[in-house]
Amino acid sequence: MNIMIAFQNVSFSYDGTVPVVEDLSFSISGGESVGLIGANGAGKSTIMKLMLGLLTGQGKIFVGDLEMNKQNLPKIRQTVGFVLQDSDNQMFMPTVYEDMIFGPRNYGLTKEQAEARVDRVLNQLGLAELKHRYNHKISGGEKRMAAIATILAMEPEVILMDEPSTALDPVNRRTVINTIHRLPQTKLIASHDLDMILDTCQRVILLSHGKIVADGSADTILRDRALLEANRMELPFCLQGRHM
Amino acid sequence: MNKLFHAQSELREMDALAAEHSPIHALHPLCKLFSTILYICVVVSFPKYNFSGLVMMVLYPIIVFQVSGIPVSLCFYKLRIVLPLVCAVGLANPFLDHTPLLQLGTITVTGGVVSMVTLMLKGLFSLMASFLLIATTSIDALCAALRRLHVPGILTTLLLLTYRYIGVMLEEVSVMTEAYSLRAPGQKGIHISAWGSFLGQLLMRSMDRAEELYGSMVLRGFNGNFFYADISPFCLRDVLYLAICGAAFLCARFYDLPGLLGSLFVG
């Protein structure tokens, strides 16, 4: 399978002394759905920002055939969509529609082309009624779905999601999970919601202090209580076998 | 409801107003911008004692309010903070100008009183016209119109982003004041001793939010050039509107319309 994302000996430090990501190497194949897990401060969000060129570290990062550098950045950002943890930070235009056409228009689509794409994505996600709604008037769950829609409107090949299920009620969480299931793109999902990771990812990368502690099948890693607890995590709730 | 949350809602309400549909909303933003600028220039240019001439200028906002379907009360409500300030501008005039202008029974109306009222009306009309412009034109359309006038892109982008970031900052202030008031029961507002740290925190939080928002924009291809609202080219309707407004304003300014109307009835 073709390699979609590759990190080769990537290191990064915010202050130049304490490394947040240290000599990290991994690759993700096209169509894979990978969960990025780890305790707070493990480096999950930093890895995503490095992948998008929002932060620059040492080592090499490839997205498809493109190496991360200034020249390739526009193309890379067109290829990789990022769903932010806080949808309020993602939805900065007054309406869902205006937010959705923002990306496609910036990438040269005409208004008609962009609108057709917006309609297609909204219909695909069953969100057509949100199109002309004001961002400040939709619920948290709707906003999260709209944030995913704004990224899908750019037709990225890779989707990065930072905590997509936080602050959602069970029904909205399930809606987001079902949507993730339906997305054919390569996905990298950073989350503490291990139940969701188990549900949506075939592969998991466990991080600790900016290093990969484990990289393998979700079913194996997420069932390894000792490994998870050693890295300040717990078994997914569905595997804990608690009896009330 | 938190006052700041309310302020934020009011800001968003303006966006909603501008998205309404009416013949005025449908006009080209440049046409509305020009007519508003011309209106304000004409209003401001009235001599200080020409009260009757100035009164005629009220017709423009009245007509626009009617046609656009925007309630006049809403305008006064939105301008409630600025209006007293504008009205206060001429308050000193009656004490400075004692020239008698007319006699109403036993009361002598001095030039100071007339010029005070004229000044108040000038402020009021200008504010109303500005309100109507922003209530019938979205900020995006306005910036698009400014770009058509070759106003530098950096200025229009700055204007647009400032407008957007006001909301972001209000959100942060709202969250912080709520958190403060929950731990300071019985206190009204923020205590002066906390102002320094409050403002510092606000700056840091707003910068973080702004950074996140900017990141989100950059990731979606933003390179400093905003794609503003698509505005249709100037059409006959816009030209007519501008011509009629222009002619009416200039007539009101250079002809004594109240006098002419009066002579029709009185002879």
**pLDDT tens per residue, chain A (244 residues)?**
699 999 999 999 998 889 999 999 999 999 999 999 999 999 999 999 999 999 999 999 999 999 999 999 999 999 999 999 889 888 888 889 989 999 998 888 988 999 999 999 999 889 999 999 988 889 988 999 999 999 999 999 999 999 999 888 899 899 999 999 999 999 999 999 999 999 999 999 999 999 999 999 999 999 999 999 999 999 999 988 765 5
Calculate the average pLDDT of chain B: 87
Positive or negative torsion for Cα A7, A191, A159, A72: negative
Residues of chain A with C-beta less than 8 angstroms from the C-beta of B209: 89
Position B193 in a domain? yes
Residue B195 belongs to a domain: yes
Q: How far is CA A165 from the centre of its chain?
A: 11
Contacts of A95 in chain B (CB under 8 A): 19
Contact at CB, A90 and B216, closer than 8 angstroms: yes
Nearest of B257, B250, B251 to residue B38 by alpha carbon:
B250
Q: How far apart, in whole angstroms, are the C-alpha atoms of residue A130 and residue A126?
A: 9
Confidence category of residue B99, pLDDT binned at 50, 70, 90: confident
Helix (H, G, I), strand (E, B) or coil at A189: strand
CB contact under 8 A, B220 and A136: no
Residues B109, B26 share a domain: yes
Residue A157 CB neighbour total at 10 angstroms:
17
Could you tell me which chain A residue has the CA closest to the CA of B138? Answer: A94
**Do B204 and B129 belong to one domain?**
no
What are the residue ranges of helices labelled H in B27-151? Answer: 29-45, 51-55, 59-68, 72-78, 82-88, 93-96, 111-136, 139-148
- Does B1 score more than 60 pLDDT? no
Q: What is the mean pLDDT of residues B24-30?
A: 92
- Check whether residue B204 and residue B237 sit in a common domain: no
Q: To the nearest whole angstrom, how far is the Cα of B222 from the nearest Cα of chain A?
A: 6
Q: The whole model's pTM is what? A: 0.78
Local structure of residue A95 (DSSP, 8 states): B
Residue B83 is assigned to a structural domain of this protein: yes
Q: Does A92 touch chain B (CB under 8 A)?
A: yes
Q: In this structure, are residues B8 and B174 in contact, taking their beta carbons and an 8 Å threshold?
A: yes
A47, two tokens: 């890895």
What are residue A207's phi and psi, to 5 degrees? -110, 150
The verdict on B197 and B99 lying in the same domain is no
pLDDT at residue A53, rounded to an integer: 92
Which residue in B has a C-alpha nearest to residue A109's C-alpha?
B227
Render B232-263 in DSSP notation, one character per residue: PPP-HHHHHHHHHHHHHHHHHHHS-HHHHHHH
Residue among A5, A29, A38 nearest A205 (CA) = A38
B142 and B50 belong to one structural domain? yes
What gap in Å lies between CA B86 and CA B56, rounded to an integer? 20
Tokens standing for residue B170: 């209000």
Q: Which of B146, B135, B117, B132 is nearest to B30 (CA)?
A: B146
Pairing of strands B107-110, A58-63: unpaired
pLDDT of res. B267 = 62
Q: Is the pLDDT of residue B51 over 80?
A: yes
Q: How far apart are CA A135 and CA A132, in angstroms?
A: 9
B212 contacts A103? CB cut-off 8 A = no
Residue B229: its pLDDT value, please? Answer: 65
Residues B125 and B246 in one domain: yes
Residues B216 and B244 in one domain: no
Which residues form the domain of B195?
Answer: 165-221
B207 shares a domain with B144: no
Neighbours of B168 (CB within 10 A): 20
CA distance linking residue A235 with residue B134, whole number of Å: 55
Q: How confident is the model at residue B101, as a pLDDT?
A: 82
Contacts of B221 in chain A (CB under 8 A): 74, 77-78, 103, 106-107, 154
Q: What is the mean pLDDT of residues B96-102?
A: 84
User: How far off is chain B from A90, nearest CA to CA, in Å?
Assistant: 6
The DSSP element (H or E) to which B10 belongs, if any, is helix B3-18
Q: Which two tokens stand for residue A126?
A: 């069953």
Q: How many domains does chain B have?
A: 2
Top residue of A90, A92, A138 to mutate, by most chain B CBs within 10 Å, is A92
Q: pLDDT tens-digit profile of B198-230?
A: 999 988 988 888 888 889 999 988 877 776 666
Of A84, A101, A105, the CB nearest to B216: A84
What are the φ/ψ torsions at residue A212 (nearest 5 degrees)?
-80, 125
Residue B99 resides in a domain: yes
What's the rounded Cα separation, in Å, for the pair B166 and B179? 20
Query: Is a pLDDT exceeding 80 seen at residue B4?
Result: no
Whole-angstrom Cα distance, residue B145 to residue B139? 10
Please give the radius of gyration of chain A, using alpha carbons only, rounded to the nearest integer.
18
Polymer length of chain A: 244
Residue type, A75: K
Q: How far is CA B104 from CA A216, B107, B108, in A?
A: 94, 5, 6
Res. B247: pLDDT tops 70: yes
A100 and A149 in contact (C-beta within 8 Å)?
yes
| Within-domain flag for B105 | yes
Q: What angle do CA B15, B17, B178 make, to 5 degrees?
A: 50
Asked if residue B266 is part of any domain, the answer here is no
C-alpha–C-alpha distance, residues A177 and B12, integer Å: 31
pLDDT at residue B228 in the model: 63
CA gap B221, A26 in Å, rounded:
27
- What is the pLDDT at residue B144? 85
From the centroid of its chain, how far is CA A161? 2
Highest mean pLDDT among B4-8, B69-73, B170-174: B69-73
Residues B114 and B46 in one domain: yes
Task: Say yes or no: ipTM exceeds 0.85.
Answer: no
- C-alpha A56/C-alpha A69 separation (Å) is 9
Tell me the backbone φ, ψ of residue B175, rounded to 5 degrees: -65, -45
Asked if residue B73 is part of any domain, the answer here is: yes
Poorest-pLDDT segment among A66-80, A96-110, B38-52, B97-111: B97-111
Interacting residues of A161 by C-beta distance below 8 A, sequence separation 6+? A82, A83, A148, A180, A187, A188, A189, A190, A191
Domain identity same for B252 and B194: no
Tokens linked to B121? 């009306």
Same domain, residue pair B47 and B169: no
Please report the pLDDT score of residue A232 as a whole number.
93
Q: What is the DSSP letter of B120?
A: H
Residue among B30, B11, B266, B3 nearest B147 (CA) = B30
| Chain B touched by A52 (CB under 8 Å) | yes
Q: Is residue B79 situated within a structural domain? A: yes
> Tell me, what's the pLDDT at B119?
92
Q: Examine the domain organization and report whether B40 and B60 are in the same domain.
A: yes
Which pLDDT does position A242 carry in this prediction?
65
